[in-house]
Structure 1
Amino acid sequence: MGEGKKRDYFLPVSILIAAILVSVSLIYSAGRDGTAGPKDTGAGVQQAGPENMKPVTADDHIRGSIDAEVTVVEYSDFECPYCREFHKTMEQVMTVYGSKVAWIYRHAAFHSKSSQEAEASECTASLGGNDAFWKFNDEIFRVTPSNDGLDLSQLPQIAAVSGVDKQAFNECMTSGKFTDKIQQETQDAINAGLKGTPYIIVTNQFGKQYVIPGAIPFSTPLSPGGPTTKQIIDQALANK
């Protein structure tokens, strides 16, 4: 009888320990790529990967030319601290490579405030065009403390700094008309292999794809022998 009771007690304890280990591994996997990553959504994609990324079109938010030799599609979250870091890296990329590179911004909204911020960026774009979107993008990354630290009451002012009318902006925000778009882009990011933000897919003119799995600096590797963003873009340009 004593042995039976011990076995009965051991089984639930084993299950509990296994559950804790799984939870710890999920938390640990967040790492340098910012957010803890998406939940399993049961999306009907056989295997997530960059080949599932939706093609770049004129409807995207593009800095540079859609016909550039290399496109850099960034799935990003306005409240992700690593996304804020990588925003500076991409500004450096555009300065160094100029017309050779196009920067495409897509939403991967996981922080609690980032969906509203993404909505604000879309409202700004709808009212002021592509230039206004990028001004909003630059400004919000400049002012947010990240990790849901931005006071959302600042959004109308950020939109105004970007060149749009506050009243029209507020009306757009009330409508919620871009909610579905933001949710769809976030799901597209998961389908394309996102496990955390930022998630970046580089594609050259021959269709070859290269993944930048997080906020990798422009020219300084995160670890000895590791890649840099510059190295990956150079590889894409050389089709290596």
Structure 2
Amino acid sequence: MEQMPQKNFASYFLLGLLIVSSFLIGSLYTRVRVLEKNLPGQSISGQVAGVRVQADAGEKALPTVVPTIGLELNDNIKPAKDDHINGNTNARILLFEYSDMECPYCKKFHPIAQQVVDSYNGKVAWVYRHFPLSFHANAQKEAEASECANELGGNTAFWKYINTLFARTSSGGEGFPLTDLVPLAGEIGLNEAKFKKCLDSDKYAERVKNDIQTGRDAGISGTPGNILFDTKTGKSKSLPGAYPFEEFKKVIDEIIKVS
């Protein structure tokens, strides 16, 4: 049996090590570049240092980079007569949230938005708009259900309905059963028969789609899509993702201070 000369074997072995090392370095560099490009609020999947970064395309994870304060004019974001408003309807600053009731980050953000409203004594109001993501099977119908609640019980019923739904859903697409939409209406004091008739008619499907389109026009690509709007200047600031209260406070305080 012929054997490879020892010198040649060592040469081939070193060459193999060089090739493997080059591949590993290249893979690491590519991974770093991908992570650099996918800043907070964009959609990436996988694990970074054992931490879940992003589960579903279109959902906004908890950001780690605070945006700069600068405001800009955005003609595609403005109040509408049929908006659902939590707080003072004449508030100086409006927090527009484009949301999906099956989005786990929207569930996380829901109490944060309420905290923002409660902390500013009428200076900030929360405007809820629909942005159900296509891969969340129940989200579209849940959005329509909230509109039926609004039809039967007004703005108060709308907020009771979505607050309860967000509290109960486990998120992820089917976290709140569609079979529970009508009973939930009854729980908050609405007529279940009328609610069911409204929901079965699909009469608010277009309303929800219109919210989605206004969101896209305003630059929203995922949920929660948040925009702070200064009614005094008409300027706005986008904060996509479930930012903590402290970061919203920084931006809001700066808006009030400089304008």
TM-score (norm: length of structure 2):
0.71
The size of the alignment, in residue pairs, is: 198
2:256 paired residue number: 237
Instruction: Give the distance between the partners of 2:198 and 2:258, measured in 1 at CA.
Output: 43
1:100 paired residue number: 123
What code does the residue aligned with 1:239 have?
V
Counterpart among 211, 223, 233 of residue 238 in structure 2: 211
Give the stretch that moved more between structures: 206-215 or 72-81: 206-215
Residues 63-110 of structure 1: CA distance to partner in whole angstroms, max 9, x if unpaired? 122321111110000000100111110111122112111110000011
Match of 2:237, SS state, is strand
1:45 paired residue number: none
Is the 1:34–1:214 contact (alpha carbons within 8 Å) kept by the matching residues of 2? no
1:33 and 1:167, CA in 2 relative to 1: closer, same or farther beyond 3 A? farther
Instruction: Give the distance between the partners of 2:112 and 2:73, measured in 1 at CA.
Output: 21
1:128 paired residue number: 153
Task: Note if 1:186 corresponds to 2:194.
Answer: no
CA apart distance, 1:52: 4.1
Bigger Rg, which one: 2
Instruction: Give the distance between the partners of 1:202 and 1:33, measured in 2 at CA.
Output: 24
Match of 1:201, SS state, is strand
| Bigger helix fraction | 1
Residues 4-37 of structure 1: CA distance to partner in whole angstroms, max 9, x if unpaired? xxxxxxxxxxxxxxxxx9xx99xx6325787523
Task: Note if 1:146 corresponds to 2:171.
Answer: yes
Is the 1:73–1:202 contact (alpha carbons within 8 Å) kept by the matching residues of 2? yes
Is the 1:78–1:118 contact (alpha carbons within 8 Å) kept by the matching residues of 2? yes
1:30 paired residue number: 43
CA apart distance, 1:161: 2.3
Residues 179-227 of structure 1: CA distance to partner in whole angstroms, max 9, x if unpaired? 01101111111111112100111011211211111100112xxxxxxxx
1:35 and 1:98, CA in 2 relative to 1: closer, same or farther beyond 3 A? farther
2:193 paired residue number: 167
**Cα RMSD over matched residues?**
2.3
1:50 and 1:89, CA in 2 relative to 1: closer, same or farther beyond 3 A? farther
TM-score (norm: length of structure 1):
0.76
CA apart distance, 1:58: 3.0
1:66 paired residue number: 89
Deviating runs (4+, > 3 A) in structure 1? 31-35
CA apart distance, 1:238: 2.0
Is the 2:74–2:235 contact (alpha carbons within 8 Å) kept by the matching residues of 1? no
What code does the residue aligned with 1:169 have?
F
Is the 1:119–1:179 contact (alpha carbons within 8 Å) kept by the matching residues of 2? yes
1:155 paired residue number: 181
Q: Which runs of 5+ in 2 are unaligned?
A: 1-30, 45-52, 60-71
What code does the residue aligned with 2:89 have?
I
Is the 2:73–2:235 contact (alpha carbons within 8 Å) kept by the matching residues of 1? no
1:94 and 1:146, CA in 2 relative to 1: closer, same or farther beyond 3 A? same
2:142 paired residue number: 117
Instruction: Give the distance between the partners of 1:138 and 1:164, measured in 2 at CA.
Output: 15
Task: Note if 1:176 corresponds to 2:199.
Answer: no
What code does the residue aligned with 1:87 have?
H
Match of 2:121, SS state, is helix
Instruction: Give the distance between the partners of 1:199 and 1:63, measured in 2 at CA.
Output: 17
CA apart distance, 1:233: 1.6
1:132 and 1:162, CA in 2 relative to 1: closer, same or farther beyond 3 A? same
